[in-house]
Amino acid sequence: MDVAYIMAGISVLIIFSYLFDAFARRTQFPSVILLIATGIGLRWLADATNYHIPYLDRIIPTFGTIGLILIVLEGALELEINKKKRGIIIQGFLSALITLLLTAFGLAFMFHEWMGIPFLESLLDATPLAIISSAVAIPSAAGLLNKDKEFVVYESTFSDILGIVLFYFLKSHLVNDSTGLALEVPKLVTAGSFMSLIFEIILVVIISLVVTYILIELIAKISHKVKFFLILSLLILAYVIAKKFHLSALIIVFFFGLFMSNSRNLLPIRWRKYINTTKAEEGLHEFHILTAESTFLIRTGFFLFFGFNITVDMFLSGETYIYGLAILGVILAVRFLYLGVTQPKKLVPTGFIAPRGLITILLFLDLPIEFSNKIINEKVLLIVILGSMIIMLTGLLITGKKKGKSDGEGGEKVNVDFNTVGDV
């Protein structure tokens, strides 16, 4: 195909992605659904013209991995750490951890009973579906009360990190690291396995501190006007190296973003003379914008390619909807049960804000092909993602109506901003 047509096509798709966001602002309809639908439409057109995109199986995971790094980085940049936030941070962490485990075990039990899948394999299959997507949840909560918004930010960010750690911990017991194929005999999960996990996390935290120090020093010393893309590239390189050694590499990204946005609060006063954080603080806004712009570009490509990988016949199976709705039922039951017991005042709207998104798809793609079955496949995954976004949107609409009535009666004025709903 002519290079000019390829360039024009890429430009048009980016423009459409921006227009989809603008449409989402006006109609509250998630823009990610439009991106996936566009990808499906392009697949239909490609099949009709016998056009094939080569290396699609490599392109989707690459876009997804870079997108995941940017999502975690952007989420960490959103977090504010100080003594006043201690309570909400603990609430968010506990909610993320407990609902992740309860949802994963609940879904694993369902898969085990329905399909006869071994329980450990079922648990690995269920983990991507148990993770809240911070990339969807954080922007969607932009117009809520500060307490609700902060809870969603902390909970969804911790859910990403904890979910990824759990996924790769389980995968190490079921999959051969060298070949990527399922082990004939899974490794036993023992006390030693958890000790190794704790040791690995401690090691990654130490590496994260070293990498963060090096990058902060580089920001302070580089005088060239273009430096944040270099920092982002070095951060991705650190992720890749850590990943090659089978470490929880996203923790490195998380720590760097957390330190960038909270250097004054995290760094003891006596250490500040050794670490120059002034340049990092001055460039935080610029770096945040760069991260957001890059995330927009990568997620556009990812969801278009993901949609391109889906065929229309995937929507024709009634079983797909049954399995998808059953999974959504477990997700909602766990979430409402936990919040109802621990924080009943947060049931509306935060009970509805449990979307699945890019991270779910990416971890799903990292499962061995042998684990694919009737209930764990792209068709069911798509129903769960779309369904969770519609549920979230419904909750936000209910909140908007309730707050509107409250305002009319002299209550606190709250503006639920739908401008970012569906930004993945």
Q: d(Cα 413, Cα 317) in Å, to the nearest integer? A: 46
Q: How far is residue 381 CA from its own chain's centroid?
A: 15
In the Cβ-directed half-sphere of 106, how many Cα atoms lie within 13 Å? 19
Question: From residue 238, how far is each of 1, 279, 407 by CA, in Å?
Answer: 36, 21, 49
Q: What is the number of residues in the chain? A: 424
pLDDT tens, the chain, 424 aa long: 568 888 888 899 899 988 988 887 676 567 777 888 898 888 888 888 888 777 777 888 888 888 888 878 887 887 778 778 888 889 999 999 999 999 999 999 999 998 888 899 999 999 999 999 887 787 777 667 778 888 888 898 899 889 988 998 998 888 887 777 778 888 888 888 889 889 988 999 899 989 988 888 888 888 777 788 888 999 999 999 988 887 778 889 988 888 888 877 777 777 766 677 777 777 778 888 888 888 888 888 888 888 888 777 777 778 888 999 999 999 999 999 999 999 888 788 888 989 998 788 888 888 887 777 667 788 888 889 889 988 988 887 777 655 555 555 444 433 444 344 444 4
The answer for residues whose C-beta is within 8 angstroms of residue 376's C-beta and 6 or more apart is 111, 125, 364, 367
pLDDT given at position 405 = 55
Q: In whole angstroms, what is the distance from residue 195 CA to residue 187 CA?
A: 15
Centre a 10 Å sphere on the Cβ of residue 28 and count the other Cβ atoms it contains.
17
The C-alpha atoms of residue 60 and residue 64 are separated, in whole angstroms, by 6
- Of 292, 291, 174, 198, nearest to 251 by C-alpha is 198
pLDDT, residue 401, reads 57
